[in-house]
Amino acid sequence: SSPQLVCVNDYEKKAIGILDANARGYYQSGADDEQTLHDNVADFKKWRIRPKMMVDVSRVNLQTSLLGSNIAFPICIAPTASHKLAHPQGEIASALAARAMDTCFVLSTLATTSAQSLAESVPNSLKWYQLYITKNRNIAKEMVKRAETYGYKALVLTVDTPLLGTRRADVRNRYRLPPHLRMENFDGISALSTELNAKKKGSGLSIFTHEFFDQSVTWADIAWLKSITSLPVVVKGVLTAEDAEHAISAGVAAIIVSNHGARQLDGVSSTIMALSEVVRQVGGRVEVYVDGGVRTGTDILKALALGARAVFLGRPVLYALAVSGEQGVRDILTMLARELKLAMQLSGQTDVNDLSKDLVVHESRIARL
Amino acid sequence: SSPQLVCVNDYEKKAIGILDANARGYYQSGADDEQTLHDNVADFKKWRIRPKMMVDVSRVNLQTSLLGSNIAFPICIAPTASHKLAHPQGEIASALAARAMDTCFVLSTLATTSAQSLAESVPNSLKWYQLYITKNRNIAKEMVKRAETYGYKALVLTVDTPLLGTRRADVRNRYRLPPHLRMENFDGISALSTELNAKKKGSGLSIFTHEFFDQSVTWADIAWLKSITSLPVVVKGVLTAEDAEHAISAGVAAIIVSNHGARQLDGVSSTIMALSEVVRQVGGRVEVYVDGGVRTGTDILKALALGARAVFLGRPVLYALAVSGEQGVRDILTMLARELKLAMQLSGQTDVNDLSKDLVVHESRIARL
Amino acid sequence: SSPQLVCVNDYEKKAIGILDANARGYYQSGADDEQTLHDNVADFKKWRIRPKMMVDVSRVNLQTSLLGSNIAFPICIAPTASHKLAHPQGEIASALAARAMDTCFVLSTLATTSAQSLAESVPNSLKWYQLYITKNRNIAKEMVKRAETYGYKALVLTVDTPLLGTRRADVRNRYRLPPHLRMENFDGISALSTELNAKKKGSGLSIFTHEFFDQSVTWADIAWLKSITSLPVVVKGVLTAEDAEHAISAGVAAIIVSNHGARQLDGVSSTIMALSEVVRQVGGRVEVYVDGGVRTGTDILKALALGARAVFLGRPVLYALAVSGEQGVRDILTMLARELKLAMQLSGQTDVNDLSKDLVVHESRIARL
Amino acid sequence: SSPQLVCVNDYEKKAIGILDANARGYYQSGADDEQTLHDNVADFKKWRIRPKMMVDVSRVNLQTSLLGSNIAFPICIAPTASHKLAHPQGEIASALAARAMDTCFVLSTLATTSAQSLAESVPNSLKWYQLYITKNRNIAKEMVKRAETYGYKALVLTVDTPLLGTRRADVRNRYRLPPHLRMENFDGISALSTELNAKKKGSGLSIFTHEFFDQSVTWADIAWLKSITSLPVVVKGVLTAEDAEHAISAGVAAIIVSNHGARQLDGVSSTIMALSEVVRQVGGRVEVYVDGGVRTGTDILKALALGARAVFLGRPVLYALAVSGEQGVRDILTMLARELKLAMQLSGQTDVNDLSKDLVVHESRIARL
Ligand SMILES: Cc1cc2nc3c(=O)[nH]c(=O)nc-3n(C[C@H](O)[C@H](O)[C@H](O)COP(=O)(O)O)c2cc1C
Ligand SMILES: Cc1cc2nc3c(=O)[nH]c(=O)nc-3n(C[C@H](O)[C@H](O)[C@H](O)COP(=O)(O)O)c2cc1C
Ligand SMILES: Cc1cc2nc3c(=O)[nH]c(=O)nc-3n(C[C@H](O)[C@H](O)[C@H](O)COP(=O)(O)O)c2cc1C
Ligand SMILES: Cc1cc2nc3c(=O)[nH]c(=O)nc-3n(C[C@H](O)[C@H](O)[C@H](O)COP(=O)(O)O)c2cc1C
């Protein structure tokens, strides 16, 4: 009798009915007026696919690699905080799903599961660790060390968050983790949860970020990071050609075009619109991925055609987790992989690594064709 | 007391109230998010008519021909599966209406009436047969033989369906034919219905397509098709200049610009926007038709002005059939022919064969004129 | 307690509550899907005013002339059929209001008041007569003779109506005049009303048009019209540069850019968008006016800036008539003249005859400025 | 239980529930159809921010100056009439808030608090006086004298109001000040309130403006104004390059790009769209500010990037005043300053005086990048 879940948006709708106001507000909201939150999804629709018919699509390859590690399809899990708000098994459920589907899971610094316990519960899988640079560099340093120790294969440095953007729902809800949860990656490094929960007004996470994250970080600090680790550094949060160039000069291994799920600065470009600019500037020198608003197989097809090597999923994973834990996450990964495959077959494409820009056209050009 | 049916959309509204959820979902839905379903109709509105006044329009010619066969007006019936879901008389009612109005009817491979019984019930009329190339080539071969035997005048090869697009309503409804109906064109060739009905999850038609249609077909297979038949081959489902050129090289007699009623790959261009590109590439070498979203006389006027020789109707026929069988189909054909004639008279046009591109202008150009 | 009527749209809202379904449908509706009906109003908003500040606007001239006859302001009454559906005093009330305000009234061929009785009831005012060319030329000829006899100063030949556009409400309502009304201009020429009322299905007016109007008229017929009258000929219904040139070659005195209130061919350009094209082509050789969608003083300002010498009002007059007869029509004329004057003062303009194109800019150019 | 006020729009929503119809109508409404009222807010969203990541934003400077006077941030209070309609403490509350936050307050000629009593209640703060030029020049002259006497630092001459635009709510409500309030700046110069209240129909303020304001003022009158005062003259209401040039030639010290909160001439450009044109023309010769539709920190960031030195707030101040008097106004100033600071930090900007045009891009250019 409950309607079947046949697309990613069905998971969102169902999750919304399950999550409490605190978690729902935290997961759903974007910064300020949420213009970019809307655009992230809507701008995918502005690209039209130019399909090729009568191509032998009986065999389609979805396999690709991230920095040399193979993945079954170019759909990975973005770092998002606090999976245990969605499901008691939290990040472990998500990472188990990623492993089952043979794709990459990125653990957030702000996860409710520590890098260590995740690695112990989900060995033998491709895991990356997302990092923020903290005022107290020892915290970041210790996290990098743990990431290395527990087998994470890359550091994803998020560069768009010197401070937290204003998500109004969180301010209204005075968002904070419930008492039984904590940001476990800080265990043994810094006492957080008490401090955070003591605060009375506004978003607890915003107060935390203000206190812990370093607002003075520059591209030069990538050198520092590289000096303390042998892991490749992926920067997450680049939206312009200029910053892509800075990132390459700083020696990064890959770039994630991202606006943090439209949660930081409202009014920036959607990521699918920013992607072309970055890809053109990068010119193949490093790998480029994208996240933000990916909800269907055709979204992924378009992102790949515009030059992304893979896409990452934020909210869809959290919603799927809320709906049915590990199985939910498996389901949406399976669903999107199936949708991507079908979109390729219906547009005459046989290999995710061979999609090119002429597969799509921006709607503003169509009348002029 | 029931409101009169004065335009094609009135038939849709009425039919929606008559059809059961299974049929309604199957008829109405487009692929995925149904962006292209929306665009197919909406993009017609983006073209503005530039009418000529004070032309003698007391006599207007609507007659034209398809591959040499005369038709009373350039409005034909596209191949759509399963007419008996709409009305017990099914495809026969539709074909009788087409004959009465002196236009072309295309029978779908997936029809609920066999090519033979349709031809016997509706002799002396212009009928084409729509074909899918099956994995087991003997099925397609036998269908071609029957089409020839029973007097079909062309083969319409649908090239946009190596697999079925995802129509979410069908997945939710586990769409399948009710037990008293079957795809009669497979009678005596392959046992289908049982197999199909045995399946439990998702769209039965999608499962069927996956099993029976050949995903490895290429333009080279047109040569094979031409080698087994003397009928002209019309390809249905071309959306780009490149594929139009492939089709011509392969020796087709005509091209239908179509996106399968937006049921295959969501995010492709509407057909009225794709039409110009194909027409320019074809340059008169073969006939070009269009289907998708045609709902009014001015839609048809615009399609013809942009270079289509005729338009084909999908859903409107099914809705009219549901409302009042053969008479309903006659009614909408009459209505559209009348609307087309009036649109010509009000824009100073006297012959459907003489409409030219300067009759229309895209809205994006108007401010610049 | 009833809300005050402070703008033209207030009259529409109020009239809608007063008129019966037959009249309401007839007055409100546009052709087919009513896209152009929407655009006629909406496209005015796409032009932005570039105001000049600090101009002495203590004295503003609204006076101008139509073909040499002075009018108090460039806002006139377009020919519309059947004013008695709105108010028992019908066309006489409207013409009295026009006289009181010192502007031009155009009587429709299809008026419910004859040219004679209108002229007798409203002497000493500027009146024009709108003409359709009838199959039986004697009808038109007799009408022209009467127009001359009763002091009409110009013939407005409507060129966009060889047949009536499809207004769906009228088809549904089987629109016809109620028994106590008739098209009095046919009195003594041709027996109409019975015939018209005898018909059973569809719009009575459409049937009538089909039977009486000549579908074979061409620009050459202007010569015939000029041969039987000394009155200047104004053509109403031109939308393109090409037809403007034809009209000038045929010797017309003025052109009304009009799409018949979007009641003929749906999908043509709004009149405010067509105006520029016609004005450019005409290059001052004849006077150019515009009607369609004029609802505010800034609409009028824009039309004049884009080259119209005056605007004509269709529906607003009928709605005002329905609300309060002659006084209502006076009110909206006063209101619009006041709004125009204020718009001029707030944009630094002092004479309606001096408005120029640089006063406005199309929204599509603004980002490029 | 009452939802928290977390953004400027929350104050509007709350104020709407507090104000009576007369005041609400007066504060909210824009001219005529309120197209420009909508655009003032919406057009900010058409500019996208191009953020720079990894910039040291630990220290951000918001301080700037207006004509040499320092202010804590580039967010000032525009002149708006009748603050006592919102709160008994009226303009004094607003000015106290401005002083507390160290920014500029502009007193309206039509204030419900006199220049003198405001200055006495709020000494030691940056105050400007907004002026209209009256038919009886002695009124304006006396006002200028008082502004000088009581320490106002500039005269803001509003150039867009030779007459009042039509705000329909005010016409419907017969808007006028309640008996216990008066426009105190006219005390001892001219008797107003009785006269105004005696009138029966339409907007009382409109009648007043018509009688008192001089409709014949031109740019030449700036010379007169400069001849009677040593205060710098700021013109408010410029929307085009031409008028910016006139203003500079006339010797103004600064220009406020403004359309009077869309209350004068509907259909003019939004101020954020007009800003670029004016800034380009001015080329740094005088300071340029902007008001209209500023509601968020990113709006301010965009305005500054497009060349404004500061923004002014109209309605937000009135709404905040209605919600909680001086504290409310402090709150929104604090909120916007915080939002601006965060927007700068998230876009890699460290000084409000260094923002440049490449920080933003118009949405119409993005597809072309
Ligand atoms: C609830 C939530 C928490 C997030 N937490 C983090 C985080 O801790 N670190 C990070 O780099 N990005 C974080 N992100 C951003 C995601 O990594 C990703 O950029 C974004 O969610 C992609 O957009 P989507 O949600 O539309 O898929 C978070 C996003 C959400 C929705
Ligand atoms: C219910 C339905 C069934 C269809 N079945 C077929 C089919 O069997 N073969 C085919 O080539 N096209 C099929 N089509 C596509 C139509 O031939 C046609 O391309 C499309 O319906 C035109 O768009 P319209 O429905 O907007 O008129 C089908 C369309 C619909 C709506
Ligand atoms: C109810 C109605 C009847 C009309 N009758 C006539 C007519 O008899 N002759 C004619 O030339 N135009 C006729 N028109 C068109 C008007 O002259 C005019 O072009 C149109 O109404 C202007 O658009 P508006 O209604 O938006 O102002 C009619 C319009 C309406 C709304
Ligand atoms: C209720 C109200 C009264 C106003 N009174 C004046 C005034 O007396 N003098 C003036 O120059 N501008 C006046 N303005 C215009 C403001 O100075 C300012 O230009 C405008 O409000 C800015 O737009 P915003 O309201 O969207 O912030 C008024 C605006 C409003 C909303």
Distance CA C152, CA B326 (A): 54
Which helix H or strand E contains D69, and what residues bound it? strand D69-71
- Residue B260 is a catalytic residue: yes
Point out the residues of chain C with pLDDT beneath 70: 1-2, 192-200, 367-369
Q: Ligand 3 centre from C321 Cα, in Å?
A: 15
Those residues whose C-beta lies under 8 Å from the C-beta of residue A179, and which sit 6 or more positions away, are: A197
What pLDDT is attached to residue A32? 98
Distance CA C89, CA C109 (A): 17
Fill in the DSSP letter of residue B351: B
Q: Nearest-CA distance from B132 to chain A in Å?
A: 12
Q: Nearest-CA distance from A74 to chain B in Å?
A: 20
Chains contacting chain A through 3 or more C-beta pairs under 8 A: B, D
**Count of alpha carbons within 13 Å of B269, Cβ hemisphere only?**
29
Fill in the DSSP letter of residue D2: P
Distance CA D103, CA D126 (A): 7
What pLDDT is attached to residue A2? 57
- The mean predicted confidence, pLDDT, of chain B is 95
Residues of chain B positioned with their CB less than 8 A from the CB of A367: 46, 273, 362, 364-365
What pLDDT is attached to residue D180? 95
How far from each other are the two terminal CA atoms of chain D, in whole angstroms?
Answer: 48
CA distances from A322 to A85, B175, C88, D312 (A): 8, 29, 68, 45
Evaluate: CB of A110 within 6 angstroms of ligand 1: yes
Q: Quick one: which atom of ligand 3 is closest to the CA of C262?
A: 23
CA angle A235, A238, A241 (to 5 degrees): 120
What pLDDT is attached to residue C339? 98
Distance CA D12, CA B159 (A): 57
What pLDDT is attached to residue B64? 98
Among residues A319, A335, A22, A294, the alpha carbon closest in space to that of A173 is found at: A22
CB contact under 8 A, B48 and C171: no
Among residues A26, A15, A14, the alpha carbon closest in space to that of A178 is found at: A26
Distance CA D195, CA D179 (A): 12
- Give me the total of CB pairs closer than 8 Å, taking one residue from chain B and one from chain C: 94
Q: Nearest-CA distance from D58 to chain A in Å?
A: 5
Rounded average pLDDT over A65-69: 98
What pLDDT is attached to residue C365? 87
Evaluate: CB of A314 within 6 angstroms of ligand 1: yes
CB contact under 8 A, C298 and D238: no
pLDDT at B1 over 80: no
The label of the residue with tokens 């289907």 reads B291
Distance CA B257, CA B235 (A): 9
What pLDDT is attached to residue C367? 67
Rounded average pLDDT over A51-71: 98
Chains contacting chain C through 3 or more C-beta pairs under 8 A: B, D
Q: Quick one: which atom of ligand 4 is closest to the CA of D315?
A: 25
Sort strands A69-71 and A64-66 into parallel, antiparallel or unpaired. antiparallel
Those residues whose C-beta lies under 8 Å from the C-beta of residue C260, and which sit 6 or more positions away, are: C158, C160, C161, C165, C237
* Ligand whose nearest atom lies closest to the CA of D39: 4
Asked if D139 and D190 touch (Cβ cutoff 8 Å), the reply is: yes
Asked if D254 and D289 touch (Cβ cutoff 8 Å), the reply is: yes
| Nearest-Cα residue of chain A relative to residue D47 | A267
Distance CA D90, CA A64 (A): 66
Q: Ligand 1 centre from A315 Cα, in Å?
A: 7
What pLDDT is attached to residue B39? 98
Sort strands C47-49 and C360-362 into parallel, antiparallel or unpaired. antiparallel
The label of the residue with tokens 């057909």 reads B271
Which two structure tokens, joined as six digits, stand for A201?
């007004």
Residues of chain C positioned with their CB less than 8 A from the CB of B355: none
Kindly indicate the confidence band of residue D193, based on its pLDDT and cuts at 50, 70 and 90: low
Q: Ligand 3 centre from B172 Cα, in Å?
A: 50
CA angle B56, B59, B63 (to 5 degrees): 130
pLDDT tens per residue, range B5-59 = 999 999 999 999 999 999 999 999 999 999 999 999 999 999 999 999 999 999 9
pLDDT at D264 over 80: yes
Distance CA C83, CA C97 (A): 13
Test site for ligand 4: of D164, D263, D311, most ligand atoms within 8 A of the Cβ? D263
Q: Nearest-CA distance from D12 to chain C in Å?
A: 25
What type of residue is C151? G
DSSP string, C224-237: HHHHH--S-EEEEE
| Sign of the Cα pseudo-torsion (A145, A146, A147, A150, in order) | positive
Q: Quick one: which atom of ligand 4 is closest to the CA of D28?
A: 31
Among the partner-chain residues D49, D297, D369, the one whose CB lies closest to the CB of A268 is D49
Ligand 4, residues at Cβ distance < 6 Å: D 26-27, 40, 78-81, 108, 110, 130, 158, 236, 258, 260-261, 263, 291-294, 313-315, 318
| Sign of the Cα pseudo-torsion (A257, A261, A264, A265, in order) | positive
To 10 degrees, the CA torsion angle through C13, C17, C18, C19? 90
Distance CA D49, CA C45 (A): 27
Which two structure tokens, joined as six digits, stand for B117?
């019984």
CB contact under 8 A, D219 and C54: yes
Q: For D224-253, give one letter per residue: b (16+ CB within 10 A) or e.
A: ebbeebebbbbbbbbbbbbbbbbbbebebb
Rounded average pLDDT over A148-172: 97
Distance CA B268, CA B258 (A): 10
SS3 B92: helix
Distance CA C228, CA D101 (A): 81
pLDDT at D279 over 80: yes
Based on C-alpha coordinates, what's the Rg of chain C?
Answer: 20
Determine which residue's CA is closest to atom 5 belonging to ligand 4: D80
Kindly indicate the confidence band of residue B198, based on its pLDDT and cuts at 50, 70 and 90: low
Among residues B1, B2, B3, B26, the alpha carbon closest in space to that of B319 is found at: B26
Residues of chain A positioned with their CB less than 8 A from the CB of D361: 269
pLDDT tens per residue, range C244-254 = 999 999 999 99
Among residues C147, C114, C159, C135, the alpha carbon closest in space to that of C209 is found at: C135
- Give me the total of CB pairs closer than 8 Å, taking one residue from chain A and one from chain D: 93
Percent of chain A's residues with pLDDT above 70: 96
* Ligand whose nearest atom lies closest to the CA of A170: 1
* Ligand whose nearest atom lies closest to the CA of D292: 4
Fill in the DSSP letter of residue D177: -
Optimal mutation site among D269, D302, D306, interface C, most CBs of chain C within 10 A: D269
pLDDT at B195 over 60: no
What pLDDT is attached to residue C280? 98
| Nearest-Cα residue of chain B relative to residue C171 | B6
Q: Nearest-CA distance from A269 to chain D in Å?
A: 6
| Nearest-Cα residue of chain A relative to residue D339 | A166
Give phi and psi for B104, each to the nearest 5. Answer: -95, 140
pLDDT tens per residue, range B306-332 = 999 999 999 999 999 999 999 999 999
Distance CA B94, CA B327 (A): 9
Touch criterion met for B and D (3+ Cβ pairs within 8 Å): no
Show the beta-strand stretches assigned E in chain C.
Answer: 47-49, 64-66, 69-71, 75-77, 105-107, 127-131, 155-158, 233-238, 254-257, 287-291, 310-313, 360-362
Which two structure tokens, joined as six digits, stand for C97?
């209001």
Q: Quick one: which atom of ligand 4 is closest to the CA of D292?
A: 23
The label of the residue with tokens 């590289």 reads A226
DSSP string, B199-246: --SS-HHHHHHHHHB-TT--TTHHHHHHHH--S-EEEEEE-SHHHHHH
Distance CA C100, CA C88 (A): 19
Percent of chain B's residues with pLDDT above 90: 93
Among residues B360, B355, B356, the alpha carbon closest in space to that of B273 is found at: B360
Residues of chain C positioned with their CB less than 8 A from the CB of D237: 53
- Length of chain A in terms of residues written: 369
Which two structure tokens, joined as six digits, stand for C127?
């009146």
Q: How many CB atoms lie within 10 A of CB A113?
A: 26
Residues of chain D positioned with their CB less than 8 A from the CB of C55: 218
Distance CA A53, CA A348 (A): 6
Based on C-alpha coordinates, what's the Rg of chain D?
Answer: 20
pLDDT tens per residue, range C324-347 = 999 999 999 999 999 999 999 999
State the catalytic residues of A: 260
Kindly indicate the confidence band of residue A4, based on its pLDDT and cuts at 50, 70 and 90: confident
* Higher local confidence (pLDDT), B17 or B4: B17
Region of poorest pLDDT, from B249-258, C74-83, C96-105, D186-195: D186-195
pLDDT tens per residue, range D224-258 = 999 999 999 999 999 999 999 999 999 999 999 99
Distance CA D162, CA B119 (A): 80
Among the partner-chain residues D45, D53, D57, the one whose CB lies closest to the CB of A238 is D53
CB contact under 8 A, D172 and C342: no
* Interface predicted TM-score (ipTM): 0.96
Among residues D350, D333, D332, the alpha carbon closest in space to that of D341 is found at: D350
pLDDT tens per residue, range A104-141 = 999 999 999 999 999 999 999 999 999 999 999 999 99
Q: Quick one: which atom of ligand 1 is closest to the CA of A316?
A: 27
Touch criterion met for A and C (3+ Cβ pairs within 8 Å): no
